[in-house]
Structure 1
């Protein structure tokens, strides 16, 4: 079953004492102690202008590892952070906690070297990952991880919370695949649960929840039909105004009569608007479904290419 607002699922069938009852139970959030990571970024100024973004705190514990490549960005005013896990993925019971903090007027890209692989569930242990980010005024956080790939029988729970200040901006990409397609796995994991929340000055302005789990009435693979990749990209903040306004015009306009849709890649966009102290804040939410990860990489690269000069490079380059 797929839902953008679904909480814990529990379905019972049968009435009366003579009929057996079928119940779908949600997983228990059992896991190992947290593996913590923390990264803090500060601007370096000369004559009142930001000339560089510097990492001042970088901490992590096994199996998490954080890398700061020095030559990946062509500009010193943007820092790139790579989030890596030893062993190539997350095993049952892994519990990752990542904290990211941007001071004022920083630009930071957070990405990964490869997809986040979630291995099969063992002893009722759930694989958990939590990200909490604070973005200072005038800063831009571009959060572009590779997709989550849940193996057969995996159970994965993810929570990502972003705290923005007035004038800060955020690009958030959250996406996942059906599993190891080359091995014939297609939506065969036990459960996938993801929550994304965005706060502006302690006020919740966006929340998206996805819960995927088979039911006797509708298996996930049947609900997803031929699609193997699902994703969402949120753009919010003044640094992205030109970008999301362009997207709303491009993807939001009505198609002419007889327009032939590309059924392999489905894109949609919706505006994100709210008021903060009489000031109207704008953004956009792009959703995508596709046959392959390469198709999503291509679309995201096209959508975000206007940001690449500020980032000092293309985060999608050489990833497909």
Structure 2
């Protein structure tokens, strides 16, 4: 056990990325047990100006009562990727203890921060809260993937955790809110989470923000529109007829996605996904984020 009953240990990590010799470089890096940052010297083409940071936890997961705080600073015109090597496992809760992971980041002018982890997987009775607070300039760029699976499905655990709360807040540098979002799955308030989620095993949210993301946003919106048209295979008139008849016999699509824009001049896009398999979401992410290879050195979720 990492934490005693009377004392909550706080694990902290921080990374600063600045221009050194004209290239994005890590100028400061701190991590404390059980958190560890791995920063490879090269990912993809050496011509790509990007720093990749892998966040790892000793033991492969987050233990009941862990409190982890990470701070990142991506200075002007720099590019940083924050990712993982496997899903983030949240182990069973001891009593009412809640495991917490908080990320704070500042993204400079014309900079890009891509947060593209593998999904969170909460074990039975786990209680987990994560919060990401980001401060951006008017021309900063962000890619955020925030997703969770139903749990250890093959072991019979399906949405069997007690609490999952994920908050993503993006603010402009003057403090004005740009995007505020919270996903809450609380067994105490909802009853059976599994009943609400039905056959869906994964929920995901993808945020694309900034001038460098405009082309990707357009491609994603077009693809989601086409995908859902094919999935539903019903005209708007037919859908209205189904609702009027309250006919629920129509089979549920195995993959559902929607898009909406936000921010001044529609500079941001949020994509929400519900799927019956984890692999289908990985495939979706690989396809939708593939154009980022030119900025990140390699395609995400390759």
TM-score range normalised by the length of the shorter chain: 0.7 to 0.9
SS at match of 1:298: helix
Question: Which residue is equivalent to 1:193?
Answer: 165
Higher helix proportion: 2
SS at match of 1:87: coil
One of 25, 30, 33 as aligned partner of 1:62: 33
Question: Which residue is equivalent to 1:203?
Answer: 176
| Deviation of the 1:271 alpha carbon | 1.4
Listed one character per residue, the Cα deviations across residues 232-260 of structure 1 (whole Å, up to 9, x for unaligned) are: 00101001011112223332478489827
* Partners of 2:34 and 2:50 in 1: CA distance: 26
| Deviation of the 1:229 alpha carbon | 0.5
Alignment of 1:40-51 (within 5 A): 40-45=16-21, 50=22
One of 238, 241, 263 as aligned partner of 2:253: 263
Q: Tell me, yes or no, if the aligned pair for 1:39 and 1:59 is still in contact at 8 Å.
A: yes
Question: Which residue is equivalent to 1:35?
Answer: 11
One of 198, 209, 219 as aligned partner of 1:225: 198
Call closer, same or farther: CA 1:215–1:64 in 2, change over 3 Å.
Answer: closer
Call closer, same or farther: CA 1:240–1:262 in 2, change over 3 Å.
Answer: farther
| Deviation of the 1:86 alpha carbon | 0.2
SS at match of 1:221: helix
Gaps of 5+ in 1: 1-29, 275-279
One of 273, 281, 301 as aligned partner of 1:288: 273
Call closer, same or farther: CA 1:159–1:181 in 2, change over 3 Å.
Answer: same
| Deviation of the 1:163 alpha carbon | 0.7
Listed one character per residue, the Cα deviations across residues 208-242 of structure 1 (whole Å, up to 9, x for unaligned) are: 11111225874110000001110000101001011
Question: Which residue is equivalent to 2:53?
Answer: 81
Listed one character per residue, the Cα deviations across residues 189-210 of structure 1 (whole Å, up to 9, x for unaligned) are: 0111111101112211101111
Listed one character per residue, the Cα deviations across residues 41-75 of structure 1 (whole Å, up to 9, x for unaligned) are: 01134xxxx4x211000101000000101132323
Call closer, same or farther: CA 1:257–1:187 in 2, change over 3 Å.
Answer: closer
* Partners of 1:182 and 1:73 in 2: CA distance: 34
| Deviation of the 1:152 alpha carbon | 0.2
Listed one character per residue, the Cα deviations across residues 133-165 of structure 1 (whole Å, up to 9, x for unaligned) are: 110000011110111100001000111111111
Gaps of 5+ in 2: 1-5, 235-250
Call closer, same or farther: CA 1:126–1:218 in 2, change over 3 Å.
Answer: closer
SS at match of 2:40: coil
* Partners of 1:232 and 1:193 in 2: CA distance: 13
State the TM-score, normalized to the length of structure 1: 0.82
The count of aligned residue pairs is: 278
One of 235, 238, 243 as aligned partner of 2:208: 235
State the TM-score, normalized to the length of structure 2: 0.87
SS at match of 2:110: coil
Q: Tell me, yes or no, if the aligned pair for 2:15 and 2:71 is still in contact at 8 Å.
A: yes
1:309 aligns with 2:294: yes
* Partners of 2:154 and 2:28 in 1: CA distance: 40
